[in-house]
Structure 1
Amino acid sequence: MKNLIISATILLLLSCQAKNDLKDEKTSYLDLRETGVKSAGIKMIPVHNGAYKVWTKRIGNNPRMKVLLLHGGPAATHEYFESFESFFPQEGIEFYYYDQLGSYYSDQPTDSSLWTTARFVEEVEEVRKALQLDNSNFYLLGNSWGGILAMEYALKYQQNLKGLIICNMMASCPDYGKYADEVLAKQFEPSVLQEIRAIEAKKDFSNPRYMELLMPNFYEKHLCRFPASEMPDPVNRTFKHLNPTIYTLMQGPSEFGISGRLEKWDIKARLPEITVPTLTVGATHDTMDPKHMEWMSTQVKKGHFLLCPEGSHMSMWDDQQHFFPGVVKFIKAVDNNSF
């Protein structure tokens, strides 16, 4: 009887200790280490030598795994990344939303000379320094245009990175345009494609008919695979808050191909220079060629490829069952040196 009492007491103490450890871990993750006025992890960071400010928001607290999210567009917003809140916190991964300069929650200057890849790279570096991220904990995740920015950042500043995640972006905009013309365009009904091309030939992009055609025939099939009436709210808010001036200048009038300042961007030959652990994420229904994304993973020094078979350009929404487990697995593998 005495031994039973002792055993029960030990089990009770161990159970209490486990609960306390779990509570401490949860409290630690939720503690943003804020001093003064609490701001829910939001920080406005000076960039471009202090001329402007960009918006960031921190969620979680993990000294070893910190992910900075680079949104697409250019000049979209962090909002379509809000699905990460349903996955990263339970894995204990700290992450940062960040609206790049010109985007909705950050300053929006009108100087067109600011909208270059090189300047955006320096902006990311300023943000990294302000958030005190370093190669012991810093993972950079870029989607679409954010993938371009992530690759360019790695080529200049990879000594600051622990891991790189390139989502739904090829290493060549000419190849992206070719894929749109030679693969995706052929999936349109001929009459629909003819009307789209006629509008493009006239550069009549303000014509509402242009998006009326692209939304059901392209965006709902290759950008985010939901009917327009069921599009996730964060995605709708991103579309609503997109800065069309910067987007058109750099990308062109739509996601169907590319014709802006990024039209000739190509770093395929430089991929072997990227030596940090790298995950490339492609999707079967993407605007980008998933085979190209897989090839990219073989060109970097330490690459791995994740395919989202049900996903499109926003696989964090339409193929969450593959996207998030794959991304989390990569981050944790790099963290514990098992990658």
Structure 2
Amino acid sequence: MKKVFAILFTVFIGISCENHAEKSSEKKCPENTYWSFEGRDDQATGGIKMIPIETPKGTFNVWTKRIGNNPAIKVLLLHGGPGMTHEIYESFDGFFPQEGIEYYYYDQLGSYYSDQPEDLSLWDTARFVEEVEQVRKALDLTNDNFYLFGQSWGGILALEYALKYQDNLKGLIISNMVPSIPDYMKYNEEVLAPQLPKEVLDKIMQYEAAEDYGNQEYLDLIVQHYYPKHVIRLPPEKWPNSLNRGFSHLNPDVYVTMQGPSEFGVKGDATLKNWDVKDKLNTITVPTLSIGAQYDTMDPKQMEWLANEVQNGRYLHCPNGSHLSQYDDKEHFFPGLVSFIKDVDTGAFPKEK
């Protein structure tokens, strides 16, 4: 029985490769099939590569891991935070492989699986853009196959990369990130915060005013009341293990430098506090998917506006989702994401009106 199954599986993979080759700019699936490492230079490490990155402060290594083989579709995943890890994307393992999508986990410099230098000057958006470009070159991603996915802070990084290097992209995905931090702050203060129980909001604001961001009661209020409404719509005790590991591996130096010490917005002298690229979006011509969610910390209307502001965009709305809609609205998130990638791959991508 096992032998029969193996034969059928091999036949199925072969048929899938043939069908994909016809639709993907005459590219062919590798003979070694989607899961094979045969003939790859990362075979001995199971797809993991430590990529050397040149910075103004020296050379450091960042961690990447490849899943699958598809010469026509390669997706690089940019995690949020800043200072989070690739672990928040482990849910992609349940959806991308069966679609034949090759994808790359990647811990940015300073994140848990990569080098973690202590020089705070490295936590700069422009430097991160150059890091992504070096990773792209090391992984041999080209405008024939390179899709860049960024969520939250990763969305900021993906937008900044596209504004400088969009000629290297085949597709761009901005997930759960608006193009303006000041607009995000306004939405948080005027729309989201008032939805909290008054006594909870008053207590949070007391800690915010005192800048007592490390107070355990403050953190508990955020995790128990704000996160389950707008970050991941599950009670904390039901959060997936991958997310818990990601939170436990967060690098606070990177996070606080760029995002600030508050869990309730971008505060203090955080480097991202005034970030805004709204007036530059119309220069982006590469096919772009913007993903918003009904209960997100980011205004979904702004995400829809972003999709219409770029020259070749599509908006995907997750009606049941929040900031991490790959977990709490996977029923809309993944089909819409896969559909965009495949539409671009086959040349069927239209700008939806």
Change over 3 Å in CA distance of 1:162–1:28 after alignment to 2: same
The Cα shift of 1:79 comes to 0.1
**Greater mean alpha carbon deviation, residues 16-25 or residues 35-44:** 16-25
- Return 5+ residue gaps in structure 2 as ranges: 1-7, 18-28
3-state DSSP of counterpart to 2:172: strand
Partner residue, 2:345: 335
Partner residue, 2:35: 30
Q: What code does the residue aligned with 2:335 have?
A: P
Q: How many residues align?
A: 325
3-state DSSP of counterpart to 1:287: coil
Rounded Cα–Cα distance in structure 1 between residues aligned with 2:42 and 2:96: 27
Contact persistence 2:222–2:263 (CA under 8 A): no
- Match among 163, 173, 179 for residue 165 of structure 1: 173
The Cα shift of 1:90 comes to 0.1
Rounded Cα–Cα distance in structure 2 between residues aligned with 1:100 and 1:36: 19
TM-score by length of structure 1 reads: 0.92
- Return 5+ residue gaps in structure 1 as ranges: 1-14
Q: What code does the residue aligned with 2:337 have?
A: V
- Match among 231, 238, 247 for residue 239 of structure 1: 247
Q: What code does the residue aligned with 2:290 have?
A: T
Rounded Cα–Cα distance in structure 2 between residues aligned with 1:249 and 1:106: 18
Rounded Cα–Cα distance in structure 1 between residues aligned with 2:221 and 2:301: 27
1:127 counterpart = 2:135: yes
Rounded Cα–Cα distance in structure 1 between residues aligned with 2:47 and 2:165: 25
User: What percent identity do the matched residue pairs reach?
Assistant: 58
The Cα shift of 1:21 comes to 2.3
**Greater mean alpha carbon deviation, residues 323-332 or residues 26-35:** 26-35
Contact persistence 2:166–2:284 (CA under 8 A): yes
Partner residue, 2:186: 178
The Cα shift of 1:17 comes to 9.4
Alpha-carbon displacement from aligned partner over 1:135-162 (angstroms, at most 9, x marks no partner): 0000000000000000000000000000
Instruction: Map 1:132-211 to 2 at 5 A.
Output: 132-211=140-219
3-state DSSP of counterpart to 1:29: coil
3-state DSSP of counterpart to 1:316: helix
The Cα shift of 1:258 comes to 1.1
The Cα shift of 1:176 comes to 0.4
Partner residue, 1:88: 96
Q: What code does the residue aligned with 2:78 have?
A: L
Rounded Cα–Cα distance in structure 1 between residues aligned with 2:85 and 2:115: 12
Change over 3 Å in CA distance of 1:23–1:276 after alignment to 2: closer
- Match among 72, 80, 86 for residue 72 of structure 1: 80
Q: What code does the residue aligned with 2:150 have?
A: G
**Greater mean alpha carbon deviation, residues 31-40 or residues 315-324:** 31-40
Rounded Cα–Cα distance in structure 1 between residues aligned with 2:156 and 2:13: 44
The Cα shift of 1:255 comes to 4.2
- Match among 216, 234, 237 for residue 229 of structure 1: 237
The Cα shift of 1:36 comes to 7.8
- Match among 42, 45, 51 for residue 51 of structure 2: 45
